[in-house]
A and B are shown apart, each in its own frame.
Chain A
Amino acid sequence: MKRVYMYSFHERAWHWMQAFVILVLLYTGLEIHLPNRLLMCFNLASRIHVAFGFIFVINAGLGLLYHIFTNQLRQFIPEPRDFFSASIRQAVFYLGGIFRGDPHPFEKSPDRKLNPLQKITYLAILNVLLPFQLVTGLILMSAHFWPSLIEYAGGLALLATLHTLAAWLFGAFVIMHVYLTTTGHTPLSSITAMITGWEDVEDGHRKN
């Protein structure tokens, strides 16, 4: 095992900010979807949802800029070479090797933080689900100023339904994401790393 400075301060701050914002958005969104059943009133939930929606957009934009200018964006891009078989290896690990205590098939490093399955997941999240949720959310939000825009975009019923569906998917992703953080060296090593920046990783004794 070796101790590696895995996440910079900016990455960690961005991550936790985004995590907090997403949780607030999910909670307030649920409050709007099912009013009077949780702790917050509809009006407050609606206002917080809109405010955190803006924070979400700004934070996503800042994150994109950070990853572009630090050349970290490449970490999210799957490598064509051996990608399919690598993904299979990772899946086989999750379905079998993890129960036997096998070593992770891919060594995590500051330059390669994501395994192939993570890459494909984040590719879908960041390129499909996140933009989709941003666009539908912004159009819904725009009703405050340009209510007609909603009609051009298909109507409130369609937009709200699609936004809700995407929110369910986000919720499922969050659960899956949190669970998969426990699949590191120890159950809390990945979360600790995202807090402190330092992570214990296995020595490079195998080829990725």
Chain B
Amino acid sequence: MNMRMIAVSIATLILGWDGLSASQNRIHPEFDLLDVEGYKVIESHNPVSTMKTCGQCHDTEYIDSHSDHVRPQQRVAYEFESPDPGSDVPFDADWLKTYGRRHVGGGPARELGFEMNCFLCHIETVDREAMMGEMRRERFEWAVTASLGRTGLVARVGDSWIWKRDALSEQGRWPIDRIALRGPTDENCGACHGLVHRGSAPLVIPEGNPAELTMTLRTGSIFSGQRINDSGISTVSKEQTIRPWDVHAERVMRCSHCHFSLNNPAYSLEIAATRPLHLRFDTRRQSFSEYLHRPSHQFARGRGSMDADPSNEPVTMRRCETCHDAGPMHRWLPYPELHFQKLSCEACHIPTSPMAAVREIDWTVAGADGKGGVRYRGIEGEWGDPNAHVTGFQPVFWPRLDEDARTRLAPFNVVTTWFWTAGDPPQRVSPAIVAAVFHDGVACRPEALERFDSNRDGVLSDEELILDTRDKRDWVAARLTDAGVVNPRIEGDAQPFGIHHGVMRREFALCECVSCHAGESRLYADLEVSPTAPFDAEPALRRTGGIGDAGRIVRATDGRWVARMNREGDDAPEFYVPGADRNAAVNRIGIGFMAVVVFGVAVHGSARIVTGRRRRQ
């Protein structure tokens, strides 16, 4: 162990890395910025190499090799915004040019020159647009350098970047006293994963790209401790809604508290799958210096909503009950253990989403931007419009298989993607081909306007771009056939997303028995999946995230597609909610028996009265 590591270890132990990680960590030493050859960039004028620069102290080869953030499998998350057919989008330059804004680099991207961009998560001001600009120009090796554009360390000159000597320290190193390096903050996580907000400035809906389908768009979750009535979002009963968007954020918890590095000694908890059977708690753990040398960048994760086979990805995150003792706080609750066995914590502590979320992404049509239409639930108005009124939504509650092999009801949002497929096996038709049906590259095609522009304003709005009639569907299918698409047909892919953020503390959690124990139980309430599905198309539910056969997408009597809990048949889950579930046959038998008795009593009694009067007469 060299002297630098010893110094870092001692300082870390004294001050605590965790307490510093979100603040300005001035104990991080200054360091040279090196290029891929190991030369100082200030001298070589080359792009910075994080593998070499950070690798001076940290095992960057290890960091680059193992985390979900660099693994190509993560691209499945982009399937909803895929412009190309199928989910097997090749991880190549085109992919990076399209989706690189939310990719940390490294892994397979390193072969293209885009190294794992440590700065994305370890400094405060990241210039993502500059980074994306370099990737669009296929100058991947400059992408990391460009992401430092707002630090003042580099400046764009023409098509290239130059290092600014005067911005570095006197020794020509990273000026740690001015540009702090620290552990990831919520803002770093939120840049890719969803809406995170801190501070007193009113929270507003960001414009963003709905098709990115971040956590907020998928589930309506916002990680912010700000009270809803203090936010800048118009919500239902806003003035009375004094609860925060998320209680954990309100209590100053950070993303990394739950999604911690798996070998962080402060948090490490060996999962049951790998822990020796005879040990409840293993005191042995690596030192802070070892951790800082090889910090795992595989973060604790829960059950992924898109995990088809839960056994493939171990759940490493602590669950609610790992930190919370539910018993003392639920003494008011009858049958607490039974409730804990049947209900996830989220069922009562996230009973509704005060925020809107995506409902449908419709790739069967194309707007002027060539992208499919995005429709939301829980909002009146456009996403990102400060005047939009957010009504929120009530999720569907489906049984979810948990890690303890118990099935509990948990809240889900369902996002349905409609798309054209062709061939056998079916492959998704590229949205570019679909876009060409509606636009000629300059303006809307007159034939499309004729069929879709119902208000005749010469523009196809999202409300008008719906294949809600046979005529519209057949017309698009014919145009696709003309474009060489074989046997085009529409498929719907309904993806459930578990809702785990936006937790309410107990004062605001669901605690009225009749919310669930009633004929109109919220546990069995429908969630609208698609009121305007493409003509004659049916959504198919992905059975991912542990929902098994419990979830169903069915057509309601009014024609809408809705998400509903399967309560009938042999494959229905074993759930019985007193007050909501009733055995109709037993009730018929019971009521019938009572009716016979009452009828018999009435007849017998009447006869006694009549015969008694006759006898007295």
Interface residues of A, Cβ cutoff 8 Å to B = 32-36, 41-43, 46-47, 50, 94, 98-101, 143-147, 150, 155-157, 160-161, 164-165, 167-169, 171-172, 175-176, 179, 182-183
Contact = CB atoms under 8 A, between A and B. Distances in A.
A114 B577 CA distance: 41
Contacts of A161: 583, 586
Given A99-B611, A172-B594, A160 B576 contact: yes
Contacts of B590: 164-165, 167-169, 171
B582 interface: yes
Which of B519, B604, B615 counts the most A-chain CB atoms under 10 A from its CB?
B604
B594 A182 contact: no
Contacts of A167: 590
A164 B611 contact: no
A176 B600 CA distance: 9
Given A35-B579, A175-B601, A179-B601, A101 B615 contact: yes
Given A32-B578, A160-B578, 16 more contacts: A36-B514, A36-B519, A42-B513, A100-B611, A100-B615, A101-B611, A101-B615, A143-B337, A146-B337, A156-B574, A157-B574, A157-B576, A160-B576, A169-B593, A172-B593, A172-B594
Contacts of A32: 517, 578-579
State the main secondary structure of chain B at its contact with A: helix
Contact of B597 (A33, A50, A94, A176): A176
Interface string B578-599: 1101110011011101101110
Nearest to A99: B611
Interface in B132-154: none
Given A101-B612, A175-B598, A182-B605, A43 B593 contact: no
Nearest to A182: B605
A183 B531 CA distance: 63
B519 A35 contact: yes
B282 to A, nearest CB: 29
B517 A42 contact: yes
A34 B594 contact: no
A169 B596 CA distance: 12
Given A35-B517, A155-B576, A168-B593, A99 B581 contact: no
Contacts of A155: 574, 576
Interface of B: 334-338, 341, 513-514, 517-519, 574-576, 578-579, 581-583, 586-587, 589-591, 593-594, 596-598, 601, 604-605, 607-608, 611-612, 615
25 contacts: A33-B578, A36-B518, A42-B579, A43-B513, A47-B334, A99-B608, A99-B611, A143-B335, A144-B334, A144-B337, A150-B338, A155-B576, A156-B338, A156-B576, A156-B578, A164-B586, A165-B586, A167-B590, A168-B589, A168-B593, A168-B594, A169-B593, A171-B590, A172-B593, A172-B596
A184 to B, nearest CB: 12
B513 A46 contact: yes
A100 B610 CA distance: 11
A163 to B, nearest CB: 10
Contacts of A172: 593-594, 596-597
Contact of B518 (A42, A50, A150, A160): A42
Nearest to A169: B593
A20 to B, nearest CB: 20
A147 B337 contact: yes
A196 to B, nearest CB: 24
Given A35-B519, A155-B574, A46 B334 contact: yes
A169 B598 CA distance: 12
A165 B612 CA distance: 36
A147 B513 contact: no
Contact of B338 (A99, A144, A176): A144
Contacts of A43: 334, 513
A43 B514 CA distance: 8
B409 to A, nearest CB: 14
B552 to A, nearest CB: 19
A164 B587 contact: yes
A147 B341 contact: yes
Contacts of B578: 32-33, 156, 160
Which of A100, A150, A160, A176 counts the most B-chain CB atoms under 10 A from its CB?
A160
A94 to B, nearest CB: 8
Contacts of A42: 513-514, 517-518, 579
Nearest to B521: A35
B284 to A, nearest CB: 35
B583 A175 contact: no
Contacts of B596: 172
B391 to A, nearest CB: 24
Contacts of A34: 519, 579, 582
Contacts of B574: 155-157
Contacts of B335: 143-144, 147
A50 to B, nearest CB: 8
A86 B574 CA distance: 49
Contacts of B336: 144
Contacts of B593: 168-169, 172
B608 to A, nearest CB: 6
A45 B172 CA distance: 76
Contacts of B615: 100-101
A155 to B, nearest CB: 6
Contacts of B598: 175
B55 to A, nearest CB: 53
B177 to A, nearest CB: 58
Contact of B589 (A33, A101, A150, A165): A165
B334 A35 contact: no
Which of A34, A94, A172 counts the most B-chain CB atoms under 10 A from its CB?
A172
Contact of B337 (A35, A98, A145, A175): A145
Contacts of B519: 34-36
A204 to B, nearest CB: 23
A175 B597 contact: yes
B611 A33 contact: no
A73 to B, nearest CB: 28
B581 to A, nearest CB: 7
